[in-house]
Amino acid sequence: MAKKVLVVSSGHGYWGEELVGPLEALDAAGYQTEFVTPKSTKPAALPPSMDNEYIDSPLGCPVTTKPIAAECYGVACLAFARDVEDRRSIIRNKRVTGHCLECDYKDGAGLLGTGFNMDPPPYPLEYIPRDALAPKGAYHGNFAKEISVIVDYPFITGRSTADSTTTRRKLVDVLENGLRRCGW
């Protein structure tokens, strides 16, 4: 028997994190959730709860900022994360990096020392964020650079395995020092 939870939300709106936080915990625990409102209207997040510039007056600080870090093919998840209303990617007009085209088609792009080698992907990663970033965003493959990490708040993106240390350092720099742009 499936585990189910009925989520009752205000028809006037909800605070984004107040719903998303518990929802993530329920999802992780394997619960199936269904949503209702008193008048069967579509529940909507209150605009300030989705605005990373919003300052909560009782706390005197922002409460809606959650930096997001992704590396290599994980950047595709950002490209496919879409606003429900206009279907635009959450990285639209941002700058990101990820596994670049030149790396996808490099001979022997398997896992070294494992005996595992894979063919080039059917759809190179680079095309996915490039299509999602338009019109003012940019994809930086940075193939000729040893390290490629881009910070365009709230996103921190790393090109590949070699960039993981720098990606995590930039994530800490965003959290601790307020870094908002870097690497482009």
CB neighbours of residue 107 within 10 Å: 7
> Residue 51 is encoded by which pair of tokens?
């605005």
> Would you say the pTM of this structure is higher than 0.75?
no
Neighbours of 9 (CB within 10 A): 18
Report how far residue 158's alpha carbon sits from residue 141's, in angstroms, rounded to the nearest whole number: 10
Place of tokens 């008193």: 38
Tell me the CA distances in angstroms from 135 to 46, 83, 88, one per residue in order: 27, 16, 11
pLDDT tens over the chain, length 184 residues = 788 888 888 888 787 777 777 788 788 888 898 888 888 888 788 888 777 777 777 777 676 667 888 888 889 889 998 887 888 999 999 999 988 888 776 555 544 455 555 566 667 788 888 889 988 999 998 888 889 999 999 999 999 888 889 998 998 898 888 899 999 8
Structural domains of the chain in order of their starting residue, each with its CATH number? 4-51 (no CATH), 68-182 (3.40.50.880)
Q: Write down the pLDDT at residue 96.
A: 95
Q: Tell me the β-bridge partners of 6.
A: 34
180 touches 151 (CB < 8 A) = yes
